[in-house]
Amino acid sequence: MNIVVCVKQVPDSWAEKKLNPSDSTLDRDSVDAVMNELDEYAVEEALVLQEAHGGEVTILTMGPEKAGETIRKALSMGADKGVHVVDAGLHGSDAVATSAVLAKALGTLEWDLVIFGIESTDARMSVVPAMVAERLGSPQLSFATKVDVADSTVTIQRQTEYGFDTVEAKTPAVVSVVEKINEPRYPSFKGIMAAKKKPVTTLTLADLGLGADEVGLAGSWSAVDEFAARPPRQAGSVVKDEGDGGVKIAEYLAGQKFI
């Protein structure tokens, strides 16, 4: 069974992020870049499925040259090879444009499953897996807390407020996994050294047959009109409990329309 895991390089979750005033895109130079933490679960799940079913695990990313570090990390965890879509024209792509690029790149690969993390920790939209599945015409199994594959059927469990949904589909299919699904492995030194020799293919927009107007800022359906820094946090109000604390809390919540 061949699996492709889509990963994204994002600013370190703990870093203070800034936007470039010129085009309202993320200022990548001012922060450390890491693999989207939620994608680590997707890589781990792919490796676990590979250990059980065989096949190859390919890592797919799009982004600037530096994003290749994220592929290398996934390879050091144990994936077999990487595909990196890198092109200046990608700059500023929103979720719709991103899904167009990933779907095209997936079209050049052979796979039974595509696995995503549920969202990226920078944009936090959670929509790319669904958009990619739609473009590919594949079933989408989202928010999986468990993935099982038997023959050509993939079954997932999805936690709901009341229990679990069990959802199944025929492969090829697109799956997104949540962080509860596993504990991602730490790259070992052996894995790190082996990753240096694993193949990574780079693709351009021309290789994928995509025009400059279909991706990047020009091809995006959404745009940032303006942005402002978050205002400094205001001091909270302190309610002194003089026997009427409960009433005061209820009044406060009612005032905020919480109750």
Partner 1 sequence: MDFRIPEELQALRASFAAFVDREVRPIDESMTEEYWSGTPDHGRLHDAAEQVRRRAAQEGFYACYLPEDVGGWGVSTLGTALLVEDAARCGVRLAMMAVAPPNPSGPSTLLLQLPEHLQDVYLRPVVRGEASMCFALTEPEAGSDAQAIRTRARRDGDSWVIDGHKHYITNGDKADFAVVFAVTDPEKRAAGGITAFVVPRDQFRAGKTQWTLADTHPSELFLDGARVPADHVIGEVGLGFFAAMSFLNAGRAYIGAQCLGLAEFALDAAVAHARSRTAFGRPLSRNQGVAFPLAESKVEIEAMRWLTYHLAWAVDEGENPMLDASIVKYYDTERAYAVADRCLQVFGGMGLLREGPVERVLRHLRMLRIVEGASEVQQLVISRAMGL
Contact footprint for partner 1 (CB under 8 A) = 72-73, 76, 186-190, 192-193, 195-196
User: Minimum distance between the CB of residue 34 and partner 1, rounded to whole angstroms?
Assistant: 8
CA distance 157 to 71: 28
- Region of 150 please: left (phi>0), alpha (psi -120 to 50) or beta: beta
User: Minimum distance between the CB of residue 188 and partner 1, rounded to whole angstroms?
Assistant: 5
Whether 85 contacts 107, CB under 8 Å: no
The smaller minimum CB distance to partner 1, of residues 66 and 248, is found at 66
The smaller minimum CB distance to partner 1, of residues 151 and 183, is found at 183
The smaller minimum CB distance to partner 1, of residues 30 and 188, is found at 188
The smaller minimum CB distance to partner 1, of residues 186 and 227, is found at 186
User: Minimum distance between the CB of residue 40 and partner 1, rounded to whole angstroms?
Assistant: 9
The smaller minimum CB distance to partner 1, of residues 38 and 195, is found at 195
